[in-house]
Chain A
Amino acid sequence: MAENPSPPKLPGKSQPLRTIRATPHGVGISSDYINSIIDRIEDLVLVAQNQKPVAGNNITINFTPQGAVINAVTQ
């Protein structure tokens, strides 16, 4: 059975974050873990900043707080 290809890899070097487990005496968080969160956030920012739609031929894009509305140019 044909399968969809894997999605494009997220830009950057970050890896999916692991959740942490609570303990009765609290959890120690390493700087490495904090930095992995920061890396992940920065990669997401990079993805978001590069997702801005660009109009092609006979297409207009109107950016609104609710989303980018694309329209066909009919004239």
Chain B
Amino acid sequence: MIRPRLSKVASGATLTTELVNGMINRTEYAADLLRQYKLTAGTDMYVEPHYDGTRVSYLQPVAGGATPRTPPVTNQITMELNKEYFFPLDFDFATKIYKLSFPAYANSSRTQYAIVIYGAYWAYLDSTPDSFGRYQVFYASTITSTILLSNTSKFPNLVTLPNIGPHPPGKNPNTGQSINFWTDPGSVKLIKV
């Protein structure tokens, strides 16, 4: 509860209970604010008290201090921008349906992204939709698949890739299978659904 500001007293004034209670209430008001504002670290954060202030940081080092790194979770691979990642194909592709999850901040400047599955076939989503607003997915094999995306002006934050697997039906995969996933810019997740 907000308490009124205290007024100065004049010389010779009586020290009344009203004045004392006003001082107490005003002090408790400030104490209540400070209690509310005491920082407690939540997920992926920690609070470090310093002599001249409180520092809040991510648990993992972050370049620039602005973008948290998301730890990998089951059925989800998180990648950072402009880096190549190689994953063994023990990442279960059985469902053959995956989603690409992009952060919203990367949506405006992203130009293209690609999935490369070595030893099998690769898929590439073109940066330009066709006249129907569809983005083409090209595979290194003879298979070409079309994915209909809801957002025709930008890459959407979530794309469903059907039939992504270590090798297309009837094709023999090569050795050393892995998945290479890259994008620019922004981190991206490959999520099994």
Residues of chain A touching chain B, judged by Cβ–Cβ distance below 8 Å, are 4-5, 7-8, 29-31, 34-35, 37-38, 41-42, 44-45, 47-49, 51-53, 56-59, 62-75
Contact = CB atoms under 8 A, between A and B. Distances in A.
B94 interface: no
B26 A42 contact: yes
A72 B43 contact: yes
A41 to B, nearest CB: 5
Interface string B14-32: 0100010001001101110
Q: Size class of B's contact patch?
A: 35 or more
The SS class assigned to the A binding surface is: mixed
Given A35-B8, A48-B30, A68 B19 contact: no
19 contacts: A4-B52, A7-B51, A31-B10, A31-B13, A41-B6, A42-B6, A45-B5, A45-B29, A49-B33, A51-B34, A56-B66, A58-B66, A65-B35, A65-B36, A67-B37, A67-B39, A68-B38, A71-B43, A71-B45
A53 B37 contact: yes
Contacts, number: 111
Nearest to B7: A38
Given A42-B5, A51-B34, A68-B38, A74 B19 contact: no
A74 B72 CA distance: 11
- A-B residue pairs, 5 tightest by C-beta: A71-B42, A48-B33, A72-B68, A72-B44, A48-B30
Contacts of B51: 4-5, 7
Given A67-B38, A70-B41, A72-B45, A58 B9 contact: no
A57 B104 CA distance: 13
Nearest to A37: B23
Given A34-B19, A51-B37, A71-B45, 13 more contacts: A7-B52, A29-B15, A30-B11, A34-B9, A34-B15, A57-B66, A57-B67, A67-B39, A69-B41, A70-B45, A71-B43, A73-B68, A74-B70
Given A5-B52, A49-B33, A70-B47, A41 B26 contact: yes
B44 A74 contact: yes
Contact of A70 (B27, B34, B42, B52): B42
Contacts of B133: none
Contact of A75 (B19, B23, B35, B103): B103
